[in-house]
């Protein structure tokens, strides 16, 4: 059995613990949560009580007891946990963003590259975006001409995401762009490839220093196409988090308003095809209240894939997505911040990304 340790037992740590427990209880993986650690001992204790394992007294003590580590602290805590686990040769699942600054992201990526690893850019596992990626890569509707991705969420220091660190630049690294839309940047780069340049404007309307709550980013491509991303944190508490993607190709418009199952709509001169995404069939074996079913299936699928890879290939296991993709997304975010600080001047992407880590 693969012994799992969880570092950081807040919101997403609890979601992962729940998904890992469901996978183990349904005999879908031969792996189980055996140890939890959080700077707030009560949180480590609560997750262990509900989802398995025992609270560890320290990070070192947790690392002594496990075969793989799930890093789910707030963003500023990722690097130390990643480096400590990598120093012991332990496989790592790390939540996004890798770290608050690009320099720390490079260090985190370098440490991850030393061991089997996977990054929690979970939209890579959304059936709706996989369907879009497959269609765009096939070229059957021609070239992408222009794309938009709008992402909005209520300012996440309240409600479901009630955690004050998202208003603190030292712990979060920035606002809506790095904390939430790192997912979007990764999806756009996956669908459309590396941009030639990045330009952006950001705004800080709610007064948290260094925490932009509105960002408009433009990615320009060598072939003349463009993608724009609008990312906003608002105060409409009935809008938890939503995304809308539109990709205009020569011969079709692809769009969706849901970031997990879709549907994906494909409009051509012949009408509109509706492509429904499906959760993995094995998720039917979960014993999860209906209200959590989709979210747990969404997080369980990448976790199962990583654990399956570890079971099959051990130290040679490769998780998806990995550090190179995550670092490339961070590079785009970093260039967007640089551009915004310089009045929106475009910043070139390729010449600055390390050839070694380019995926």
Ligand X SMILES: NC(=O)c1ccc[n+]([C@@H]2O[C@H](COP(=O)([O-])OP(=O)(O)OC[C@H]3O[C@@H](n4cnc5c(N)ncnc54)[C@H](O)[C@@H]3O)[C@@H](O)[C@H]2O)c1
Tokens of 253: 């418009």
Site string for ligand X, 18-37 (x = CB under 6 A): -------------------x
Per CB under 6 A, 321 contacts ligand X: no
Q: What DSSP line would sit under 26-87, residue for residue?
A: TTS-SEEEEEEE-SSHHHHHHHHHHHSSEE-SSHHHHHHH-SEEEE-S-GGGHHHHHHHHHH
Per CB under 6 A, 66 contacts ligand X: no
Per CB under 6 A, 184 contacts ligand X: no
Taking the least distance from each CB to ligand X, the nearer of 280 and 344 is: 280
Per CB under 6 A, 322 contacts ligand X: no
Per CB under 6 A, 72 contacts ligand X: yes
Count the helix, strand and coil residues of the chain and give each as a percent rounded to the nearest 5. 45, 25, 35
Closest CA to 216 of 309, 152, 164: 152
DSSP strands (E only) in the chain? 2-7, 31-37, 54-55, 68-71, 92-94, 117-119, 144-154, 197-203, 214-220, 226-234, 241-249, 253-256, 264-268, 271-275, 347-348
Least separation, in Å, of the C-beta of 63 and ligand X?
12
Per CB under 6 A, 5 contacts ligand X: no
Tokens of 334: 């970093």
> What is the rounded distance in angstroms from the CA atom of residue 102 to the CA atom of residue 53?
34
Taking the least distance from each CB to ligand X, the nearer of 59 and 252 is: 59
Per CB under 6 A, 331 contacts ligand X: no
Least separation, in Å, of the C-beta of 22 and ligand X?
17
Per CB under 6 A, 70 contacts ligand X: no
What distances in angstroms separate CA 67 from CA 4, 54, 96, 144, one per listed residue?
A: 6, 15, 21, 43
Least separation, in Å, of the C-beta of 11 and ligand X?
4
Per CB under 6 A, the list member of 179, 184, 213, 325 interacting with ligand X is 179
Strand ordering across the sheet containing 2-7: 54-55, 31-37, 2-7, 68-71, 92-94, 117-119
Tokens of 188: 């756009």
Angle (deg, nearest 10), helices 323-341 and 182-192: 110
Stretch that binds ligand X, among 94-102, 209-217, 230-238, 264-272 (CB under 6 A): 94-102
Taking the least distance from each CB to ligand X, the nearer of 40 and 250 is: 40
Per CB under 6 A, 79 contacts ligand X: no
Tokens of 311: 């079971």
Taking the least distance from each CB to ligand X, the nearer of 12 and 135 is: 12
Least separation, in Å, of the C-beta of 286 and ligand X?
18
Least separation, in Å, of the C-beta of 301 and ligand X?
13
Taking the least distance from each CB to ligand X, the nearer of 259 and 347 is: 259
Stretch that binds ligand X, among 90-98, 204-212, 288-296, 339-347 (CB under 6 A): 90-98
Which residues form the interface with ligand X (CB under 6 A)? 7-13, 37-40, 43, 72-75, 77, 95-97, 120, 122, 161, 163, 165, 179
């Amino acid at each position: 059995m693969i012994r799992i340790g969880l570092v950081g037992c807040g919101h997403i740590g609890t979601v992962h613990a729940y998904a890992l427990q469901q996978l183990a209880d349904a005999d879908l993986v031969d792996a189980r949560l055996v140890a939890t650690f959080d700077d707030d001992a009560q949180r480590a204790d609560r997750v262990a009580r509900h989802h398995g394992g025992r609270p560890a007294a320290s990070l070192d003590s947790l690392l002594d007891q496990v075969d793989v580590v799930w890093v789910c602290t707030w963003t500023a805590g990722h690097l130390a946990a990643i480096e400590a686990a990598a120093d012991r040769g332990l496989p790592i699942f790390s939540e996004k963003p890798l770290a608050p600054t690009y320099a720390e992201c490079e260090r985190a990526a370098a440490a991850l590259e030393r061991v089997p690893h996977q990054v929690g850019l979970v939209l890579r596992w959304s059936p709706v975006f996989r369907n879009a990626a497959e269609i765009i890569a096939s070229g059957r509707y021609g070239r992408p001409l222009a794309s938009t991705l709008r992402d909005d969420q209520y300012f996440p220091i309240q409600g479901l995401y009630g955690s004050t660190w998202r208003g603190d630049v030292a712990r979060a690294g920035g606002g809506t762009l790095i904390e939430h839309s790192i997912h979007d940047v990764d999806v756009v780069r996956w669908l459309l490839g590396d941009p030639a340049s990045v330009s952006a404007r950001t705004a800080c309307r709610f007064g948290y220093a260094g925490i932009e709550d509105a960002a408009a980013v433009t990615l320009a491509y060598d072939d003349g196409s463009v993608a724009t991303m609008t990312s906003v944190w608002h105060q409409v508490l009935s809008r938890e988090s939503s995304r809308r993607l539109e990709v205009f190709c020569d011969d079709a418009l692809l769009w969706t308003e849901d970031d997990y199952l879709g549907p994906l709509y494909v409009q051509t001169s012949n009408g509109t095809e509706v492509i429904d995404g499906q959760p993995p069939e094995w998720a039917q074996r979960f014993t999860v209240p209906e209200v959590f079913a989709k979210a747990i299936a969404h997080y369980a699928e990448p976790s199962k894939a990583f654990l399956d890879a570890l079971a099959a290939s051990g130290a040679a296991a490769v998780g998806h997505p990995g550090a190179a993709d995550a670092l490339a997304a961070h590079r785009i975010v970093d260039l967007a911040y640089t551009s915004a600080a310089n009045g929106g001047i475009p910043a070139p992407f390729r010449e600055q990304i390390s050839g070694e880590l380019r995926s």
